[in-house]
Amino acid sequence: MNRIVRYFEYGGFGERTGRQLLIKEHTPKPDPARGAQWRLDPDFNAGDEIIKSSSLKEVLASVLKKGHEIVS
């Protein structure tokens, strides 16, 4: 099963940068922006998010194909 998880990018002072990483679980994460870090969103549910946003379908399709997608 290809479970998709989401990470939020946080800057050096704990502020969110506005970028998200959607990635297949157990796939190596790309580097965040300089001085930032990825933090797992434990509440993310891909199915629920698709219902909320139809544009997410294309992003998730890309994640399944390429392994990850960074979204601003």
How many residues in the chain?
Answer: 72
Cα 53 from Cα 36, distance rounded (Å): 27
Q: Which segments of the chain does DSSP mark as H helices, in order?
A: 46-52, 56-66
pLDDT in tens, 15-46: 999 999 999 999 999 999 999 999 999 999 98
- What SS3 class is residue 21? strand
pLDDT at 2: 66
**pLDDT surpasses 70 at 49:** yes
pLDDT at 12: 93
CA torsion sign for 37, 32, 11, 44 is: negative
pLDDT at 54: 78
> What confidence category does residue 14 fall into, taking pLDDT thresholds of 50, 70 and 90?
very high
